[in-house]
Each structure stands twice: as C-alpha cells, then as structure tokens.
Amino acid sequence: MTAKSAAAAARATVYGYPRQGPNRELKKAVEGYWKGRVTAEALRTTAAELRAANWRQLADAGVDEVPTGDFSYYDHVLDTTVMVGAIPGRHRDAVAADPLDGYFAMARGTQDVAPLEMTKWFDTNYHYLVPELGPDTVFAADPAKQIAELGEALALGLGARPVLVGPVTYLLLAKPAPGVPADFEPLTLLDRLLPVYAEVLADLRAAGAEWVQLDEPALVQDRTPAELDTAAHAYRALGSLTDRPKLLVASYFDRLGDALPVLAKAPVDGLALDFTDAAAANLDALAAVGGLPGKRLIAGVVNGRNVWINDLEKSLATLGTLLGLADRVDVAASCSLLHVPLDTALERDIEPPVRRWLAFARQKTAEVVTLARGLTLGTDAITGELAANRADLAAPATSPITHDPAVRARAAAVRDTDARRSQPYAERAAAQRAHLRLPILPTTTIGSFPQTGELRTARADLRTGRIDTAGYEERIRAEIQDVVSFQEKAGLDVLVHGEPERNDMVQYFAEQLTGYLATEQGWVQSYGTRYVRPPILAGDISRPEPMTVRWTTYARSLTDRPVKGMLTGPVTMLAWSFVRDDQPLGDTARQVALALRDEVDDLEAGGTSVIQVDEPALRETLPLRTVDRPAYLAWATEAFRLSTGGVRPDTQIHTHMCYAEFGDIVQAIDDLDADVISLEAARSHMQVARELAAHGYPREAGPGVYDIHSPRVPSTEEAAELLRTGLRAIPAERLWVNPDCGLKTRGWPETRASLENLVAAARAVREELSAS
C-alpha cells in the first residue's frame, strides 16, 4: 500500500473504553458510596481520575481523538435518560432532591420505589436500563455530564469527541411506561425529542466540541420502511441545524442493510461503520450507494468484541478499498472497547506465546494506531508489526491447546437421537410428579446464594496459600450446611446447595474443562458494578472429571427434599466466554454440550433427580438480523438437548433465562424441551408469562416474583400479586414460584426476608386456589 498525502493522514480513534480502572476502582468507589463509606465528592474524584487516566493512556498510545461521555457510574443509556430529562414520575422527587442518589435509585430501586427494567444491550452481555416513555413524556435537556467530561478532556490538551446514544436508537430501546398501553410506540415521540438533542448539540459546540458522535446501533437490526423514514427525518432535522458541531453517526455489531443509504444521504458530516466479519457486507453496500463523497468515514476494522489479535494485512486491504469511498478514512475498533478486558499484560498465568494470540483494550488500541499509521505512511512503515502479526496468527493452528482428535471424533459421531429425550413431555411430567411429590406452586431458587466477603476471602486465601485445601473445603461445607438449613426452615420445596465454591457461573466450569484459558484481571462490565471475567475458549473442549457432583451430593445428604444439580448450558458457556474464531460456533457448542452431558449423566447416576442447565444467554446471542436466526437457533437448541437428552424420564430438567426479550425466542424455548423453565419477570410485570401463554407453551414455568438486582425486599402481597398475574397466563399445575435470578450479588438479610416472603406468598395463593 502506498502512502497517503500528509493532509489526509488517517486518524486513530475509539468509541469507548473500559470504565472500571485497572483494579476495578470504580466498582469499589460506587459500592462504597452505596454503603456510606465513600462520600459523593470522593466518588466524583475517583471517577474523574479514571477518566483522565483512560484518556492519557489512549493519547499516549497514539489515539488522535478520545471519546468523552462514554464513562458512566452505572449505564450510558440511563445517562441518556438523564440527559433528555425522561425521568420516570416515581423517581422525579428523588432526582430533584439529590441527583446522584436519584440516579442510583432509578438503577437499583429503593424499598419503596421500583427501578427501571434492565435488559441486554443488543447481542452482548452488557445490560442497559430501559427508558420508560409515554404520550405524556416531557423531554428537557440536561447535558451537564456530557459538557463537564468534554471540558475535562479538552483541559488536558486532547482532541475529544463526545459520544451520545442517538435519538432513534434511544426511542427504539424504550418501552411504554407502567400504565401506558402496551401498543404505544416511543418512536412517535421523535419530534418532541429532536429539539432536546438540538439543544445538547449546541451546548457541546459552545463547550468546544468539533465533532459529536451519535450512536445508532438499532439501525443494524431489521427495520420497517416507516422506521427508516423516521431515521431519515431525524438526521435531516439534526443535519440541517445551523448551531451544531460536525455530526458523526455510528453503527456497529452488524451490517446496516437498508439503513445505509438512508444515513449516506443524510446531511451529516460522517459515518462510523463496522467492517469486521459480522458486518463485512457494509463494504459492498457502501460502494453500491456511491460512497460518502465529501464526508468522513471511520472504519471499524478491529473487532471490539472479541479478544483475538487483528489480521493487520486483511484490515489494511479493507482500508485501502475504502480510501476511494469517502473524503477521508480514519481507523477505529468496530464498537466501544467496553466489551473487552483492559490489558493482556496483566495476565501472568497465560503463557507469553499464547498471550500473543490475544488483544484486550490496550492491545486493540495499539492495533488501531498501527493500522492508521500503515494507511497513512504505507506498509513499509509497519513492516515489523506485519511480520510479527503473521507469525502470531499462524501459531494457534499448530498448538496442542487448540486441537484434540478424540474430542473431534466424538462430536462427529453424534446422532440425531442423542439430542432427544426418550419419552414425550406428558409422560415425563407424570413420572416426575410421582417421583418428586411436590405441592402445587412449588417454590425454589435459581441456584446461587449470597457470595459473602468471608467466602471471597476464603477463595483468595486458598489461591495465595494462606489456607490449605482441607481448610477451604471445611468452609464450603459449613456454608452449604447453612444454606440448606435456611431453605428448609424457610419452607422452600426444591433446594440448591448455594454454589459457595463457584467464583462465576461460567468461569467455574471453564477452569475444569480442557481448551479454556482463565484470566486474572480480565474484568468486563455486565451491569452497574457487576463485573465478570469471561474465560477464553481457545481449543477443543472435554471434561476430564466430574465438576459438580461432589458438592451436590453433599447437599443432598443434609436434607430429604430434592436438591437441584446446577450447570451452565453450552450456549451460555460460549456467549459469556471469548470464543475461538477458527471454526463455526455450532461445532464448538457441540463439544461443550458433550462435556456437560457427561456431567448431567454423573449427577443423575449419583441420585440427583432435578438438574438445572442454565441458558440465560440464549436470547442474548440471537443474531440481530432475522435472516441469520434460524441457523443459530438450530445449533443452539440442539446443543442444549444434547447436554440433557440422556437422562431418565423421571429426572426433571430445568433451565433458566433472565434479562432479555423472551418474546423473540418463545419457539426456541419450546424447542429446548426442558421440563421446567424459570425466567426473569418481576421488573417486566410478568410479561413473559403472557408471551408463553400466547405461544401455547406446554411445559412448566417459573416467571420470577423477586427482582434480585435491586436491594429492596418485596412484600408477601407484592409477590402474591405477581403470582396471581402469572396464574392468569399459566395454569396452577404448571406454575413455579422463584426469584428472577441467582442471589450471588445480594446480602443475607435481604435474601432471607425476600425468600421468606416468597414462600409466604406461595402458601397464600395456594390457600386461595384451594378455597376457590
């Protein structure tokens, strides 16, 4: 590739960066504030220091234009709700009295006021807080956060670009507020919202912004002609403003499809497009509309969602093709780097040669900078980087980590009958009722109980050698005893062992399976202050020995009631890991499913009659485009059935899902053929129960009656009322009573009170049913 002219030098940029800090300083400060140990001023100081450190790090790496406004105490969509003044009525007084406490109340709720609903951000494991809008919503601009953070970056002497959620995506992500008819469409509020965005843009320009980025990822989903017309209207209006900065409209996660010509024609100053494999069609589509003459194009060629190194030569070829399609071409990651860990250099337990296969946020930033330099100066300027990159890309193919012939042979031998139960559901249900002898409206929990500070300390002490294995296991046994004893006293019908030995529902299994790499500091934000360390699935998967049988068997020895065996399903094991990209996902899922099948069979052989295989990520991983979904759902549902298909008819298979739009996958939920499914439903007021009923779902279900992502304790009557709502959709003989999700993040006092109220609610409703 020849060098570009100096006047057209490609700039390097990113759309967002991990918020937490190298040691999760933000998490500690926010949670300290909630507990009263950190003042509001100290929290703001910590946040400002983290932002400044991120920007300096990016600038020092060679990034020409840093993002501002992407940093958040909890969630950037909630930040947008504040920016446009769309505060739900029940939270207005709290926000007016104390904006910071009111902000957190919207996110977490209080004892008296429910939080906003939470769901997944497109097909990622990041959760956002859903805006609540209605025909009476009044918007009002409040860009104080965005202006302040821009000012901080400019004060450091940096080129900065504010990043906002775009108005179309914001409205498409919103839901009707409680009490508003379900058929209300928030997108009808666009003309009311656009003047607020106009005011925000003018204020940002006055504060020194040359460019402002408006993120519109909702446009990569299937959109109706009316929705595309609305998007065209929005950007005609914003682009025609006279008092505004230059506008960059960004999309990511997939191809734009019919939305690309709409944005290309809009009177905006640039587009930021995804050109990774998932969105490769954007290249041909951009050429088909004649490119972006006179406009800026930011090319997202470095994948912002996985942890594998970039193919620099392939990316340079894409960038070279794009040079003729826009006035200027700059280089970026495909989306915010929020979705990947911070730095591979922190991973001391991964062998250095293997670590060279990986790129976290800092390494991806370096790749972006290298590509921008190569695009500007030509490949001769980066010959060393290209040579090293070629060698690193080739290394996995010859590594023993990645290929196991025995695993591949077993996966190839799978038959269709392996993924089917031996009897239909009606016959299984009768056998399970006779075997388990549960009451109507049986009560249970989802799996985990509070991970106390003592448990985390014990795990850390074992890791550092301060206690030995015997001492650690004694602590785990004591915790299981306490959890089982509490459940018996509370009156729960199907118990769990509480998972005190588990650090994470994916990582725990990954550390016991071949083919996975674990990280020490690979933290990624899931929601609020909840961070996870997704393991890295680098090779073929097998289970050398049982993973959960020992502790499940111990819990069963403490009680006469059923105890669930708890596993994480194959789709979730993939979705919440960083997965190898050298073979189809379906092939990898089959390997994981076979490893889990071995565990399911061992649990059953040991006497466990209820086994839960969680698949909270089934909806999350659903492709954004409808045309791509059947192929995904075929291998995803087959993988679940393959993991559970070998059990006896009287063994009851449960699954669990949470915080997603379940209506999109009701048929897939049916296709799993699980005997019982538990689902998040408290924040959405039993919406999923109605969706299951509309589909004619024939099996048992437990829509949650306790929102575990809020510290508030639901009253007995509140849980009972949700149960009554559920009974209007699901017959009593098929309805279970359970929380929304696992209790790992909750404290013991609220857990005890909430579960006692849950059991009391179930008893009250049973009495109502028996009296009717």
What phi and psi, each to the nearest 5 degrees, are found at residue 155? -65, -25
How many Cα atoms sit within 13 Å of 56 on the Cβ side? 10
Pairwise CA distance, residues 607 & 497, whole Å: 15
Average pLDDT, the chain: 96
Distance CA(582)–CA(401), nearest Å, equals 13
Per-residue pLDDT, averaged over 212-240, amounts to 98
Q: Kind of pairing, strands 652-657 and 610-614? A: parallel
pLDDT of residue 4: 54
Bridge partners (DSSP) listed for residue 498: 448
pLDDT at residue 5, rounded to an integer:
46
Residue 741: half-sphere exposure toward Cβ, Cα within 13 Å: 21
Average the pLDDT over 218-247 and give the result. Answer: 98
CA max distance for the chain: 84
Using 50, 70 and 90 to split pLDDT, how confident is the model at 470? very high
Block residue for tokens 């494991």: 125
- Asked if 209 and 246 count as a contact pair (C-beta separation under 8 A), the reply is no
Model confidence over 244-288: pLDDT tens digits?
999 999 999 999 999 999 999 999 999 999 999 887 899 999 999
pLDDT digits (tens, 9 = 90+) for 33-71: 999 999 999 999 999 999 999 999 999 999 999 999 999
**Is residue 709 annotated as a catalytic residue, yes or no?**
yes
pTM of the model: 0.92
pLDDT at 341 over 90: yes
Backbone angles phi, psi at 212, to 5 degrees: -130, 135
| pLDDT of residue 460 exceeding 90 | no
What's the distance, Cα to Cα, between the start and end of the chain in Å?
80
Tens digit of pLDDT for each residue in 12-27?
A: 999 999 999 999 999 9
Residues whose CB falls within 8 Å of the CB of residue 449, separated by 6 or more in sequence, listed in order:
483, 496, 498, 499, 500, 743, 744, 751
Pick the closest to residue 714 from 737, 687, 744, 731 (CA basis): 737
CB 546 within 8 A of CB 567: no
Amino acid at 278: A
Cα-based distances in Å from 32 to 43, 81, 104, 426: 9, 24, 13, 51
pLDDT at 587: 97
Quick one: average pLDDT of 502-517? 94
DSSP 610: E
Catalytic residue among 91, 127, 654, 709: 709
Name the residue among 420, 399, 407, 417 with its Cα closest to residue 589: 407
pLDDT in tens, 609-640: 999 999 999 998 999 999 999 999 999 999 99
Q: Coil, helix or strand for 100?
A: helix
Residue-level pLDDT at 581? 93
Q: Indicate if the pLDDT at residue 384 is higher than 50.
A: yes
Give the per-residue pLDDT at 738: 97
> Which pLDDT band holds residue 664 (cuts at 50, 70, 90)?
confident
The interaxial angle of helices 25-34 and 40-61, nearest 10 deg, is 170
Residues 6+ apart with CB under 8 A from 502: 448, 508
* Confidence grade of residue 1 (pLDDT, cut at 50, 70, 90): low
pLDDT for the residue 6: 38
Q: What is the pLDDT of residue 3?
A: 55
Whether 642 and 598 have beta carbons less than 8 Å apart is answered as no
pLDDT at 75: 98
